[in-house]
Amino acid sequence: MAAILSSLLAGSVLLSGSVNAQNFGSNGPVEDAFSYVQPLNTTILTEYGSSPPVYPSPNITGVGGWEAALEKARAWVAQLTTEEKADMVTGQAGPCVGNIVAIPRLNFSGLCLQDGPLAIRVADFASVFAAGVSTGASWDKDLMYERGLAMGREFKAKGAHVALGPVAGPLGRSAYAGRNWEGFSSDPYLSGVAMEKTITGHQDAGVQACAKHWVGNEQEIQRNPVYDPNVTTVKTSNAISSNIDDRTMHELYMWPFANAVKAKAASFMCSYQRINGSYGCQNSASQNGLLKTELGFQGYVMSDWGATHTGVAAIEAGLDMNMPGGLGPYGLNFGVPSFFGGNITIAVNNGSLDTSRVDDMVIRIMTPYFWLNQDQNFPSIDPSSADLNTFSPRRTWTRNFTLTGERSRDVRSNHAELIRRHGAAGSVLLKNKNGTLPLKAPRNIAVFGNDAGEPTQSSVLNQNNYEFGTLFAGGGSGTGQFSYFVTPLQALQSRARQDGGLVHYWLNNTLIANSNVSTLLIPRGQPDVCIVMLKTWAEEADDRPHLSSDWDGDAVVESVASYCANTVVVTHSSGVNTLPWSDHPNVTAILAAHFPGEESGNSLVDLLYGDVNPSGHLPYTIAMNGTDYNAPPTTAINTTGFDDWQSWFDEKLEIDYRYFDAKNITVRYEFGFGLSYTTFNMSNLEVSPLANNITSFPENLPIQPGGNPALWESIYNASVSVSNTGSVAGAAVAQLYVGLPSSAPAGTPPRQLRGFEKLHLEPGETQTAAFELMRRDLSYWDIISQQWVIPEGEFTIYVGFSSRDLVVHDTVTVVG
């Protein structure tokens, strides 16, 4: 791979007639302008906090199955004028969140790009699915695909060519980051599998996936530059820079995106922040180098909305599509011209931008379009999307969009049934004292907390942190628009009625936290169970100020538990909550229900009453205290320099359980933890090589999507027997962790997830969980050779039910 990179760069010389980044705006930073071309060497690549120039931008080859589509795209692009090519790479205000205009003379009806990772957001009569964090918590590969496929079908039926998801950045470096819930897990392996399954699902439905946000987008604060309020094109400070060393980049932050490329994601979205000093969307090392060269990405890179800060410099650095286009740096700042658009025509005509690069941009956009047959009978954009699109309302459109076809199409199909299942599968049972759950037809149920009931403001949920009403999803572009929803209170009431029970409720957290709960309850009789519903908001553009539940949730629990001996706590949350009352003797059960989607109440009642046996496991760690977490977001700086917002990822590989394990820190609930109503046993670990003489270094094979295919070859098999030793059916998740030999470089985490299998088992049943370990799974990224290397010595393979419940283990020596 290093050889390929070097040979590519050997041909990379200063381009004649080089332009500087100022061409398309006086505010374009030039730190990554292509006139800085230098030969790639390891010194530069390992330099921490600076981004080496990697040019030119590689052309698509179609390798990996897109060859025929590439030929179609080439022939199609050959018919375009320069102006049409500029249109193809530049967004416009229009009916969708992102729009590429039609070229009617070629029967091309344009492209519609829609958010987001849990629903088609700008739409009516569409479903709101379980969020990424719930999906990660399911540890269920089939569910991940099923959800991706169902979502893809809804996007397509509404006329959206591109779904702006799934999310692997943020990965979850910090528990406080505002968008972790849009993604799946802070573990790159779990996130990578979820990316692959979701993308395959979306694209099997005929919709292009967009893996976002590439890469190192680990906090919201200062994700964008700050502009002068009087001169809106002038920056007063640059966005935060995520400064990530080469090894950490490969083993954590790139890892799940490699799965996305392998799954043939049509598009990637580059991120707002800077990466090692250079803006994500004009960072040649990340786009030309890591993504298009090392990972062999064949699709196109679009900018996040307003993340483009230059024209030619960004294009040469690998950006293929500017979104939302002509709306200016703020996205909503109408009238500010695009860095792309007409400027591309000018640059091509004056020779400062080679047509071949523009052709490659358009070909990269059109190849997945043809590959997914989007040229054949693709549904029209539902006209209702245009009405709902507050991002670019009709009055802002400067180009023509003809909207045809049925308005307000109902695309929900039978998806409510699967969303109900997915919501339950993504809930994690953390405590269940004396078999409190499942509930046994309680007659007197008391419900507490402002997360239980109907929102009082509006059914247009999840756009802000409202006090009253249940929470199914976080905010920002990753949210959804509900056509209906089932609250926990509704579902509990209807279930209690079936059982001849009754439900009392108190929904005001301030009242509950400050009341003697016994005085509330005594007139209504001693409840059989008190259910406390808590919520935790998180949204795009902000990080979480704390890891507690919102609206004084901890005080609500204390207040209820001080009286009610059977207090069951349910959290609807974006992720980590510290749960300081978890050992309270009256808190008998805790269920982390995450963001389950529109069937929330039903998903919950299915679990509480045992119609569904909990099988979710934490996709992150719950520490004892918020202060136990390392790597917090950078929330302020003490200086005023233009470039001073820097976030040094000095913890390197030690995030989440990798950190807690390395430092031997006691946690409340570890990564991978989750209870069931049954019990499981595990035995008979067998680990065996699939080849003789496995070498440390991978064979240098021609790059395919996902990188060197040798990295994806299975080289070891492992299997364990898992038995259901209890009395009800349930699903166990067998989790395989690898401990690399001591010869691996310093900083290698003690154990890392490298396999998981969910098994549905009847009482008494035993099944085998089989794992295939690929070369990448047993390697570390060697910054010197620029290769994935299998270290010499003894590996320990652990399999268990969580990262700290490692039931069986074995040792193997891989290389030799």
State which residue, 33 or 211, has the beta carbon closest to ligand NOJ: 211
Q: How far apart are CB 540 and ligand NOJ at their closest, in Å? A: 6
Buried b (16+ CB within 10 A) or exposed e, 458-471: eeebbeebbebbbb
Q: How far apart are CB 466 and ligand NOJ at their closest, in Å? A: 21
The token pair that represents 297 in the structure block: 């990405």
* Catalytic status, residue 304: yes
Q: Give the chain's radius of gyration (CA, Å).
A: 26
State which residue, 304 or 382, has the beta carbon closest to ligand NOJ: 304
State which residue, 390 or 638, has the beta carbon closest to ligand NOJ: 390
Q: How far apart are CB 675 and ligand NOJ at their closest, in Å? A: 34
State which residue, 87 or 115, has the beta carbon closest to ligand NOJ: 115
State which residue, 97 or 492, has the beta carbon closest to ligand NOJ: 97
For 61, residues 6+ apart whose C-beta sits below 8 A from its C-beta are 70, 298
C-alpha distance from residue 382 to each of 122, 127, 142, 157 (Å): 10, 15, 30, 8
Q: How far apart are CB 490 and ligand NOJ at their closest, in Å? A: 31
State which residue, 211 or 507, has the beta carbon closest to ligand NOJ: 211
Q: How far apart are CB 113 and ligand NOJ at their closest, in Å? A: 8
What is the rounded CA–CA span in Å between residue 652 and residue 633? 14
What is the rounded CA–CA span in Å between residue 342 and residue 365? 19
Closest CA to 425 of 293, 236, 655, 603: 603
State which residue, 220 or 550, has the beta carbon closest to ligand NOJ: 220
Judge whether 532 and 448 are in contact, CB under 8 Å. yes
Q: Which helix (H) or strand (E) holds 760?
A: strand 752-761
Q: How many C-beta atoms lie closer than 10 Å to residue 794's C-beta?
A: 14
State which residue, 203 or 303, has the beta carbon closest to ligand NOJ: 303
Q: How far apart are CB 700 and ligand NOJ at their closest, in Å? A: 36
State which residue, 423 or 476, has the beta carbon closest to ligand NOJ: 476
Judge whether 701 and 782 are in contact, CB under 8 Å. no
What is the rounded CA–CA span in Å between residue 563 and residue 583? 15
Closest CA to 588 of 378, 736, 434: 434
The amino acid present at 780, given as its one-letter code, is Y
Output phi, psi for 667, to 5 deg. Answer: -120, 165
Q: What is the DSSP letter of 527?
A: -
Q: How far apart are CB 390 and ligand NOJ at their closest, in Å? A: 11
The amino acid present at 460, given as its one-letter code, is V
Q: What is the DSSP letter of 704?
A: B
Q: How far apart are CB 737 and ligand NOJ at their closest, in Å? A: 31
- What is the SS3 assignment for 557? helix
What is the rounded CA–CA span in Å between residue 124 and residue 143? 24
Q: Which residue carries 């089939």 as its tokens?
A: 142
What is the rounded CA–CA span in Å between residue 511 and residue 184? 35
State which residue, 476 or 501, has the beta carbon closest to ligand NOJ: 476
Q: How far apart are CB 160 and ligand NOJ at their closest, in Å? A: 12
What is the rounded CA–CA span in Å between residue 212 and residue 97? 15
Q: What is the sign, positive or negative, of the torsion defined by CA atoms of 630, 631, 634, 638?
A: positive
373 torsion bin: left (phi>0), alpha (psi -120 to 50), beta (else): left
How far separated are the first and last CA of the chain, in Å rounded? Answer: 22
Alpha helix (H) residue ranges in 15-157: 42-46, 67-77, 82-88, 132-138, 141-157
- What is the SS3 assignment for 569? strand
Q: How far apart are CB 101 and ligand NOJ at their closest, in Å? A: 18
Q: How far apart are CB 749 and ligand NOJ at their closest, in Å? A: 29
Q: Which residues bind ligand NOJ (CB under 6 A)?
A: 97, 115-116, 164, 212, 304-305, 477, 540
For 179, residues 6+ apart whose C-beta sits below 8 A from its C-beta are 167, 170, 217, 220, 474, 476, 478, 538, 539, 540
What is the rounded CA–CA span in Å between residue 596 and residue 173? 23
271 torsion bin: left (phi>0), alpha (psi -120 to 50), beta (else): beta
* Pairing label, strands 667-669, 622-623: antiparallel
Of 87, 304, 320, 542, which is the active-site residue?
A: 304
What is the rounded CA–CA span in Å between residue 139 and residue 117? 17
State which residue, 269 or 604, has the beta carbon closest to ligand NOJ: 269
The closest residue (CB) to ligand NOJ is: 477
List, edge to edge, every strand of the sheet that includes 567-573. Answer: 428-432, 587-592, 567-573, 529-536, 444-448, 502-506
What is the rounded CA–CA span in Å between residue 680 and residue 372? 43
Q: How far apart are CB 261 and ligand NOJ at their closest, in Å? A: 19
State which residue, 217 or 613, has the beta carbon closest to ligand NOJ: 217
State which residue, 476 or 698, has the beta carbon closest to ligand NOJ: 476
What is the rounded CA–CA span in Å between residue 476 and residue 457? 18
Q: How far apart are CB 304 and ligand NOJ at their closest, in Å? A: 5
Q: In 284-432, which ranges are E strands?
A: 300-303, 428-432
Q: Which residues are catalytic?
A: 304
